[in-house]
């Protein structure tokens, strides 16, 4: 498995940004981490770079519970992108939710590579990165 070098965190919580960035840097030596605090802004970033795959993240760590557009909304829009983009950008959902229906729904999404419960720890990312 190749190391993922460019990672996008889509999460509205600054504490979760700090934890995720720390784990990525100190356990996997990943420095190229972009944080976008809303699903809408992240979708806009992906859309504006969809023809420039080198600018796209190899991994998206997506929070499920965000205001305005949540992780489900993000995934609905994400599914409309080209197959090339979806093959370039793998999505991991990071959630603190314990709502069984939500967890089943997100696990059933074919574009979600993994579902990880908060708080994030390095072991949860070992097979992904």
Q: pLDDT for 40-83, tens place per residue?
A: 999 999 999 999 988 999 999 999 999 999 999 999 999 999 99
> What is the sign, positive or negative, of the torsion defined by CA atoms of 15, 13, 98, 60?
negative
Can you tell me whether residue 95 is helix, strand or coil? strand
Q: What is the mean pLDDT of residues 15-26?
A: 94
Tell whether 99 is covered by a domain. Answer: yes
Whether 69 is covered by a domain: the verdict is no
| Residue 11 domain flag | yes
Work out how many domains the chain is built from and give that number.
Answer: 1
In a domain, 70, yes or no: no
Contact (CB, 8 A) for 60 and 34: no
Query: What's the chain's length in residues?
Result: 129
**What is the domain extent for residue 32?**
1-37+47-58+81-129
Q: What is the pTM of this model?
A: 0.92
Residue 64 lies in a domain: no
Task: Pick left, alpha or beta for residue 26 (phi over 0 → left; psi -120 to 50 → alpha; otherwise beta).
Answer: alpha
3-state DSSP assignment of residue 93: strand
């Amino acid at each position: 498995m190749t190391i993922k070098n460019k990672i996008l965190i889509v999460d509205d919580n600054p504490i979760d940004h700090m934890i995720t960035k720390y784990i990525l840097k100190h356990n996997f030596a990943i420095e190229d981490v972009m944080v976008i605090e809303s699903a809408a802004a992240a979708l806009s970033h992906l859309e504006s770079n969809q023809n420039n795959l080198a600018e796209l993240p190899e991994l998206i760590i997506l929070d499920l519970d965000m205001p305005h557009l949540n992780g489900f909304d993000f995934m609905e829009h994400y599914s409309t992108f080209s197959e090339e983009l979806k093959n370039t950008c793998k999505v991991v959902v990071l959630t603190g939710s314990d709502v069984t229906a939500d967890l089943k729904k997100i696990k059933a999404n074919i574009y979600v590579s993994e579902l990880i419960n908060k708080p994030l720890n390095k072991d949860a990312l070992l097979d992904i990165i």
